[in-house]
Structure 1
Amino acid sequence: MSGSHQIVCTTCGGVNRVPDDRPAGSARCGKCRTPLFASKPVDADADMFKRQTQRGDIPVLVDVWAPWCGPCRMMSPAFEAAAATLEPGIRLLKLNSDSENELAGRLGIRSIPTMLLFADGQEVARVSGAMTAQQIVNWARDQLRSRA
């Protein structure tokens, strides 16, 4: 929709229409009043993943990880730092492949950490391996720029 963005609340799953002339970073959910962005990644289950990628119209960057994965744990602070730079233009989610193994299988995850970038409800890019915060930011921005 022109003139606004649909942003899905990570707390209640409500879909919020935020006008383009209003800073999304300070917007609150109309349903539960929680801020729509907290400058940090959100742990997502299969339902949250689906709502964020299918109902929202901002890009979604997903870090697929597992608690036992050393490189995943090493990348976690970098992914969190990247959220402070990329939000509110991109939603950042963390998807635990152990607790959401069916979804990880449907997504074709073969190694972790893997980052998936979604835009307009479709996966547009993926990359595997640990990255620094700046590499995450650059990769996500480059992928979205190449789509434009």
Structure 2
Amino acid sequence: MNVVCPSCLKVNSIPKKDSYAKANCGSCKNSLLDTTPIELDESNFDHVIVNSDIPVIVDFWAPWCGPCKMMAPIFSEVAQKYPLKALFVKVNTQEHQNLGAKFNIRSIPTLVVYKEGIEKKRVSGALDPLRLSNLVNENL
């Protein structure tokens, strides 16, 4: 399966397994098990969405948004449960207004789940850890 390296954004082809003890990027050698959400922009958004065989969970947010700030640690916490099962990414809609407009983001936070490059689910508003985990699980 193809996964995008969270460090250098290179596409890596790895065998699909139930769990991984170790998986490193063939290019930068950093761990593919890193679950820290990746910040995306116009230059790399499509690359990550199209080249990821695992679901990509996108958090469209802005720094001035109270619910976005509340959900940020929850998003990072839930991401830790899904190494090489789902890729968690963030888009700052204040800095990257073109992406917000392109994907018709009308309120934030908005979470969008992409699978095989196609939008599968969209949820607006902050989610608690259980609801976020359920959203991810139903799209694995």
Could you tell me whether the CA contact under 8 Å between 1:60 and 1:119 is conserved in 2?
yes
Note closer, same or farther for the CA distance 1:136–1:25 as it changes in structure 2 (3 Å cut): farther
Superposition TM-score, scaled by structure 1 size: 0.87
AA in 1 matched with 2:31: P
* Residue of structure 2 in register with 1:12 after alignment: 8
Note closer, same or farther for the CA distance 1:18–1:132 as it changes in structure 2 (3 Å cut): same
Q: Which moved more, 1:81-90 or 1:114-123?
A: 81-90
Q: Deviations over 1:41-64 (max 9, x none)?
A: 111122332121101211100000
* Residue of structure 2 in register with 1:126 after alignment: 122
- Deviation of residue 79 (structure 1)? 0.5
Q: Which moved more, 1:64-73 or 1:12-21?
A: 12-21
CA distance in 1, matches of 2:84, 2:115: 14
CA distance in 1, matches of 2:50, 2:81: 23
- The answer to whether structure 1 residue 66 and structure 2 residue 35 are counterparts is no
- Deviation of residue 74 (structure 1)? 0.4
Could you tell me whether the CA contact under 8 Å between 1:18 and 1:24 is conserved in 2?
no
Could you tell me whether the CA contact under 8 Å between 2:111 and 2:123 is conserved in 1?
yes
From 6, 27, 31, the equivalent of 2:23 is: 27
List runs of 5+ in structure 1 lacking aligned partners.
Answer: none
Note closer, same or farther for the CA distance 1:121–1:113 as it changes in structure 2 (3 Å cut): same
Q: Aligned pair count?
A: 140
AA in 2 matched with 1:102: N
Q: Deviations over 1:116-140 (max 9, x none)?
A: 0000101011000011112101122
Q: Deviations over 1:29-50 (max 9, x none)?
A: 1011111131221111223321
- Deviation of residue 26 (structure 1)? 2.5
Q: Calculate percent identity across the aligned residue pairs.
A: 36
Higher helix fraction (1 or 2)? 1
From 35, 38, 48, the equivalent of 1:39 is: 35
- SS where residue 106 of structure 2 aligns? coil
Superposition TM-score, scaled by structure 2 size: 0.92
Aligned alpha-carbon RMSD (Å): 1.6
